[in-house]
Structure 1
Amino acid sequence: MTTVYLIRHAEAEGNVYRRCHGQYDSLLTERAYQQLPYLADRFEDVPLDAIYASDLYRARHTAKAIADRKGMKVHVRPVLREIAMGEWEDKTWAILPREAPEQYAKWQTRPWECEVPGGERVLDTGDRVLGGLRQLAREWDGKSIAVVSHGSAIRGILCRVLGYEPEQIGQVGWGDNTCVAKFEFDGDTIRPIYWNDASHLPEDLSTFAKIGWTNSRGVPMSVQAWFRPYNPESAEDRALLIGFAREFYRNAYGSTDMLDEDAWMADTDAMAAKHDRAVTIGMVEDQPVALVRMNVCDESEPEIGKVGSFVISEDYRGTGLSGQILGQAISVYRALGKDYLCAYVAKNNARAHGFYDKYGFHNQGEVMKPEGLHDKMVKKIKVESVAEESEDFIWEG
């Protein structure tokens, strides 16, 4: 008999930025690094003979927290990866009902039937990863191992192991980040001992509790945005952006006295001309509520993507949109091969400093701008590959 502890990775970008991250590789969040010590504590006195993870960053670095505590190394296998989401990868969840309404409705109501072009079905993913677990159980017969995988994969596995029909997958629910399932593999028999257990996490570190996932199925109840490109030919869009510019200056500098609207719009048009996602408008349903303006024209530091402006309409502050506009910026600059994201924050703008501190930006010194003294806030966005971290992980592809 082999004991297998199956663990969902800690909180990752897709969970907070409300983006579809299947096999898209993304980083852990700041909260994840608060969750991980509790997960390591849980396993500190649990005998483990090996620790495995999928090759995606968020899974293998979750496993590393357990391994580091025990002085072990993490074995990495791609078969343990999350569901492949094909054409949906790194899109916002909120855009999918608009771009693929029939498929998205199926994902919401009959997920076992949903197969995104270029992707997998959830039960096929469960079968793939379960096959990987069976192989590990044979290799480690009579031992105990921990395996870190992903939410949809674990959901598919639980549907099979609990003996549910596909139509009953909703009864499995979603496990919170770092949740644990315990299985006993005995030949062809798999005995589930417990599952979706995140009792090691204090409530203030629960991802579900923090972002408003209020039911056992993990349905997000807070506001979600999709992003459309700014259209320089639209008078309505130009007026909208001027409104955002004024709001930005009032928030950052206390007034619009230093705002040169013509120059600001000329810079914005240049950004939009250089990249089709450099300037996007955050939408909640059909209402514009935010601006993500990326200064892709500033290439003074080739490895760093520069933020031009983040603005959220006053009525939508405090609704969870801040992470989503950051996620949009990271999506743009990561696709452009940037390793870091940088914003210049007015010295006295306490609200903005709180935002950047919350999301893991670090102050790299003061910079004088025409509007006054600013702090240069920088966040790493590069996702290292297994090959780049070969000293920390054992590849078993």
Structure 2
Amino acid sequence: MAGNSDPLTPRAKLAVTAGKAVAAASRAAGRGSGSVIGGRVALKLDPDLLARLAQHLDVTLVSATNGKTTTTRLIAEALKAAGPVVSNALGANMPAGITSALAGGAEAKFGVIEVDEKYLVGVAQATDPKCIALLNLSRDQLDRAAETRMLAENWREGLSGSKAVIVANADDPLVVWAASSSPNVLWVAAGQMWKDDAWSCPSCGGVMQRPGDDWFCGECGFRRPTPSWALSGDHVLDPHGSAWPIHLQLPGRANKANAASSAAVAAVFGVPPQVALERMYQVQAVAGRYDVVQFEGRDLRLLLAKNPAGWLETFSLIDPPPTPVILSVNARGADGTDTSWLWDVDYTRLTGHPICVIGDRKLDLAVRLEVANQQFQVCDNLDQAVQLCPPGRIEVIANYTAFQDLRRRVGN
């Protein structure tokens, strides 16, 4: 292995080879990328494989409820300025998928790894990261995800005393509380549009005060830290007070926030903000998200939104009325089977848009839209919904498995 004085053991090499073979067989059978099943097989053969594969890399871990995949991609693009990067760019973010990704990175210098929130602590222990980016925490997959404060507590305990530089969002009280146990934190003012999971103090349970963009607990004194990096309009402010312009092909305020956090991470590895931000412009779409595809004579923009915070950010970036909007919601395993989160989304933001509703749980969504006084039509499938829309742009918003269904249908 390049640059590694401690090559992989014979067992580890066998595990990597077997994992790649299984992944290739899975791809050949048309069952997806094969990265997860390949990683599972490899870890069965060598349970310490993830740690062995990470030992020659400068690792960055990225975790959050929303924005992990995009931020991972932006950081990876920025760090390519300093050397070869290996990353789990397709979003397989549990140990098996991460192991598969790193198995292809023998020549890499940097590992930029998206990690599911529940697995962050274990992956951090295995990979000894130099940097960990914590972006946000909000409700998601209600049937199987721990309550958000419990997740923050898991991070806080698991990252306590970590040697990694923690790049954390100063505007999310749950993230601040989780990161505060670490000795080396870079605070980024990345903003927080969705505040409904952080009205009680994670430290003492008191009521949070939120004047303007600030926040603090009136009971225990837990408060927003002073950021050293900040998103300010279309610029990133660095710790020296210099403003660097953000030029992205990705839309919306949330992606500017992701770019601000990514610039802070890149600086940890010596990549200057100007270089990092210029490189981020290369990213046009992330695993199909934000892609515009031609379908049935229309231009469909594919937008992924998995939970209330994600839907709120997505509504803020769609074209104004009367642009048609197609909404698709499933409730399969990867989505979480509990759709009660739909009642937390403010659908009045879609007033004036013609709306078509599809997906496995289209009737759940229809009831919610009716209560929100929206004009909509329930359709059997994407083709029918698209035909009800005039030629031109259509915004298509879907949760996780619904988004995968859409990509397959439009050949993306």
Relative to the length of structure 1, the TM-score reads 0.28
The structure with the largest alpha-carbon Rg is 1
Structure with greater proportional strand content? 1
Relative to the length of structure 2, the TM-score reads 0.27
